Chains A and B, each alone.
Chain A
Amino acid sequence: MTALRHTGYMTATHLRQLWRQPWWIAVSLVQPVIWLLLFGALFQSVADLPGFGSDSYIAFLAPGIVIMTAFFSAGWTGMGLLEDLDRGVTERLLVSPISRPALLAGRVVQQTITMVIQSLIMVGIALLAGATFSNGVLGVAGLIGVAALISAPFAALSTAFALVTRKEETLIATLTFLQLPLSFISSTLIAKELMPGWMQTAAHFNPVEWAVVAGRAAALGEGGFGVVASRAGLLLAFLALAAWLALRALESYQRSL
C-alpha cells in the first residue's frame, strides 16, 4: 500500500515537470514522425513484393513506429535519474521513509504515461498520412497497451543502468548502440518473411519483436487474440525481470555509498 501511495507521489512529481514543459513531447515526436513519413514514402513499393502479406506499407509501418517510439523514449528514463543522483535528490529521498521500489517506479510510470500521450499523437499523424487501423478504436487501445508493455521494462532497465554506471555519456552511448539494431532485428520496418533466416531466428528473442508482433496484431487484427496474449505474457515476464534488476541496481548503488 505504502509502495503504491509513494509511487503515486513520485509519478505526480515527475509528471508536473512534464506539464511545465509540454513542448518536450512535441520535440520527442519529431524523429518518429520523420521516420513514419520518410520510411512510409521510401519503402512504399515494398508492399508489392511477393510474400509481404500486407497491401499498404504505411498501415503496416504505423504500429511498428508506435512501438519503436515507445521503446526509444523509454531508454532515456535514466537521464532524469542521473540528474537527481548528481544533485543529491536521490540521497535526500533515500534518508526519508520512501518505499524503495517507489523511488524508481515513479519514473517508470511517468515515462509510460508520457508514452501513451506520444502514441495517441503518433496514431493521429499516421491516420493523416493515410494509415488505417483496421481493428478500430479497440485495436488502437490494444496497440498502446502493448507499447506500454515494452516501454515499462526498458524504462526500468534504463534506471538500473543509470544507477550502475552513473554517467550520462555511458547511457547515451549504450542507447545509440542498442536502439537501431534492436529495431532492425524485428519486423518494425519489414515483414518477417522478407528478413534473412538468421535475423528471423534472432528476432524470436527480441522483446521489441514481441511488442511489434503483438501491437500489429492488435491494431490490424492479424493473427488474432492468441498472438497478442502470448507476446504480452512474454513482455510481462520481461518487465518482471527488468523490475528485479532495477531494484538490485538500487541496492548496489546504496551499498556503494
Chain B
Amino acid sequence: MTPNAIEAEGLVKHYPGDLLALDRLSFAVEEGTVFGLLGPNGAGKSTAVRIATTLARADSGSARVAGHDVSAEPTEVRRLIGVVAQRGGADREATARENLRLSGRLQGIRWAELDRRIDELLERFGLADAADRIVRGFSGGMERRLDIALALVHRPRVLFLDEPTTGLDPEVRADMWQEIERLARDEGITVLLTTHYLEEADRLAAQLAIVDRGRVVATGSPDELKRELRGDALHVELERELNGARAGLDRLPGLSEVTFDGRWLRARADDGARAVPAVLAALDSHGVAVASVTVARPSLDDVYLRYAGRTFGEADRDTAVVA
C-alpha cells in the first residue's frame, strides 16, 4: 500500500462567535493522487487547507503532511508543500520573475539552479513573454498560472489548490483543469483540491471527500459515490409548489428518497423510465400540474443531496460564508 501524503484526524476548529468551522473532520490522501474536498461555501474546506498547510492551528485533532506533523514540525512541512490559496497572493507590484525568485530564495534554492527552474516554469505556464512584466497588468488566468508556478518553484511533494478555478472564465477553467491533470500525471505530485464545482471534482479527483458543515459526510471515488446511489435520479418540475401532501409518492413501488425543494421534486428510481408514468399519474390524481420531467444517471449533486440532506445550491445559499 502506498503511504498517505496527507492524514487529517478529527480536526476541530472554532472561530469567535461560536462558529464551528470543522467538526471532527478526517480524511486521508494517498501519495501521488488527486484528492478533492467537495462542499458548498462555508463547509470548512478552506479551514481544513489552512490547518494542513500550517497557516492555522486546529483546536484539537492532528494532521500529518508529507510525513510531518503540521503543528510539531511546521517548517519541515512548509518545505515540502506548495499552496495556491483562493486569493492567490502574488506580489502585484513585482514582475512574475521577481515573484518566483523571492519564493525560490525563501525556499533556499541556489541562484544558478533557481534561474533555470524559473525559466522552466515560465515556459511551462505560458508566461515566458510576460516574465518581466508587473503582475498588476496580468489577466485573471495569467495571475492564476503564476500562483501555481509560485507554489511549484521548490518542487513540492504535496500541492494544495484551494478553489483553483473560482472566478475564472470557462475557457481558462478548462485550461486549468488540463494543467492540474498534467501535474498529477507527469510529476507524481500529490494534489489536494478544494472545490464547490461538482463537475470539477468529478473530472479531476481520483478520490473525494464530501464535506458539509465541517464534517466529511461521504468518501470514495466519484464513480463509487455515484454507484452507491441505487438507480436513476428523477427530477420533476411542478407548475406550483406542493404543500404538505407528498401525493402518496413515497409509497410508489420502485421509488425512494423522495424530497421536495420548492417547485422541484426529486426521487430515486430503480428504473427511471418506467417510474415516470406512475409518478405523473399520482401527481395528476392530486391535481398537481407538471412542467417538466428529467431522468438522469446519478450525478455528484445527487450524491451530495443524499449525504448532506440538501441540494448543493441550497447548501451554498444557507451556509454563512466563511473565508
Contact = CB atoms under 8 A, between A and B. Distances in A.
Nearest to A99: B106
A182 to B, nearest CB: 31
Contact of A97 (B86, B88, B98, B106): B106
B91 A88 contact: no
A96 B106 contact: yes
A94 B93 contact: no
Nearest to B87: A88
Nearest to A103: B106
Interface stretch (B22-30, B75-83, B301-309): B75-83
B83 A92 contact: yes
Interface residues of B, number: 29
A76 B190 CA distance: 42
B90 A95 contact: no
Q: Is the interface of A mostly helix, strand, loop or mixed?
A: helix
Contacts of B150: 92
Interface string A1-30: 000001001000100110010000000000
Given A13-B98, A97-B107, A257-B55, A89 B90 contact: yes
B105 A9 contact: yes
A95 B106 contact: no
A91 B106 contact: no
B68 interface: no
B79 A95 contact: no
Interface in B38-83: 50, 53-57, 75, 78-79, 81, 83
A95 B53 contact: yes
A254 B56 contact: yes
Interface string B3-35: 000000000000000000000000000000000
B248 interface: no
Nearest to A17: B93
A95 B56 contact: no
* A interface residue count range (under 10 / 10 to 19 / 20 to 34 / 35 or more): 20 to 34
A168 B50 CA distance: 25
A91 to B, nearest CB: 6
B147 to A, nearest CB: 8
B265 interface: no
A236 interface: no
Contacts of B55: 91, 94-95, 254, 257
B192 to A, nearest CB: 13
A13 B54 contact: no
B210 to A, nearest CB: 25
A190 B77 CA distance: 56
B83 A95 contact: yes
B85 interface: yes
Contacts of B90: 89, 92
B85 A88 contact: yes
B297 to A, nearest CB: 39
A93 interface: yes
Given A16-B94, A88-B89, A257-B50, A97 B108 contact: yes
A34 B302 CA distance: 69
A98 interface: yes
Contact of B85 (A17, A92, A97, A255): A92
Contacts of A87: 87-89, 92
Contacts of B91: 13, 84, 89
Q: Which 4 interchain pairs have the tightest Cβ spacing?
A: A92-B89, A88-B87, A88-B89, A257-B56
5 contacts: A16-B94, A17-B94, A87-B88, A93-B106, A96-B106
Given A6-B106, A97-B79, 7 more contacts: A16-B98, A88-B87, A95-B53, A95-B78, A95-B81, A96-B78, A96-B103
